[in-house]
């Protein structure tokens, strides 16, 4: 948003007055504003790209929304919602996703967040031939970083026979170490390893870690 427009928005928020284009008369407005951004506004304020007074006017009740990769537990319900909605629009009915398809989506990092997930599911609803969306119905790019023979690797020179189990073990060790260091405080442990508290809770559940049993 250009700085000149920021000044106009600030006036509208502070004085609740606007001046419509082509009309010299001021008009009172009574609105509530929900603003969203993918930028770091504090950095923008420091760089003189965003007005500090507008930032504090908008930042009354901030709601941080972690990236989708930090909310793995949200992927399945969102995917089902998109499949039901998009399928109905295309005249198809889906009962859900296979376990393999859900796991593949959980393993992907989703740099495009929810919009990318929606596009992925839309593609899957188009190509799916049955009522269940299978792993083969998902776009190939979801598997681009996964070796084709990952499931048949054998232990040789340190290569694990089960990559998923090995990764889960590494994840478990980090989480346990963070819990030990934070004396079992989940919010502090999540902060230590750089993920949201909700994502941390999901990983505890997935790995079967009971915080009350952590040695403090």
Q: How high is the pLDDT of residue 101? A: 92
**134/160 same-domain check:** no
Token duo for residue 31: 């609105």
Would you tell me how many other CB atoms lie within 10 Å of the CB of residue 59?
A: 11
Q: How confident is the model at residue 65 (pLDDT cuts 50, 70, 90)?
A: confident
- Residues 13-30: what's their mean pLDDT? 89
Structurally, the chain folds into a number of domains equal to 3
- Identify the domain containing residue 10 by its residue range: 3-58
What percent of the chain lies above the pLDDT cut of 90? 33
Helix axes 113-127, 99-107, angle to 10 degrees: 150
DSSP 159: B
pLDDT for residue 94 = 92
Residue 149, pLDDT score:
40
Same domain, 85 and 135: yes
Whether 145 and 110 have beta carbons less than 8 Å apart is answered as no
Q: In the chain, at which residue ranges do the beta strands (DSSP E only) sit?
A: 17-18, 27-28, 96-97, 132-133
What is the per-residue pLDDT across 129-147, written as a single tens digit (0 to 9) for each?
Answer: 899 999 999 988 887 654 4
99-124 pLDDT tens trace: 999 999 998 888 888 999 999 999 99
């Amino acid at each position: 948003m250009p700085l000149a427009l920021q000044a106009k928005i600030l006036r509208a928020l502070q004085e609740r007055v606007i001046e419509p284009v082509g009309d010299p008369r001021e008009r009172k407005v009574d609105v509530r504003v929900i603003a969203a951004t993918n930028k770091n506004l504090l950095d923008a304020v420091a760089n003189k790209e965003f007005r500090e007074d507008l930032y504090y006017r908008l930042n009354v009740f901030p709601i941080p929304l972690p990236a989708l990769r930090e909310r793995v537990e949200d992927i399945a319900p969102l995917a089902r919602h998109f499949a039901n909605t998009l399928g109905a629009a295309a005249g198809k009915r889906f009962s859900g996703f296979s376990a393999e398809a859900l796991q593949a989506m959980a393993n992907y990092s989703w740099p495009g967040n929810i919009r990318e997930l929606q596009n992925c599911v839309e593609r899957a609803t188009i190509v799916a031939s049955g009522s269940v969306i299978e792993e083969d119905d998902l776009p190939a790019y979801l598997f681009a970083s996964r070796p084709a023979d990952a499931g048949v690797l054998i232990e040789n020179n340190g290569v694990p026979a089960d990559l998923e189990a090995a990764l889960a073990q590494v994840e478990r060790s980090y989480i346990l170490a963070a819990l030990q260091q934070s004396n079992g405080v989940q919010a502090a442990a999540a902060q230590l390893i750089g993920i949201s508290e909700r994502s941390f809770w999901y990983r505890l559940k997935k790995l079967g870690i009971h915080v009350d049993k952590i040695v403090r």
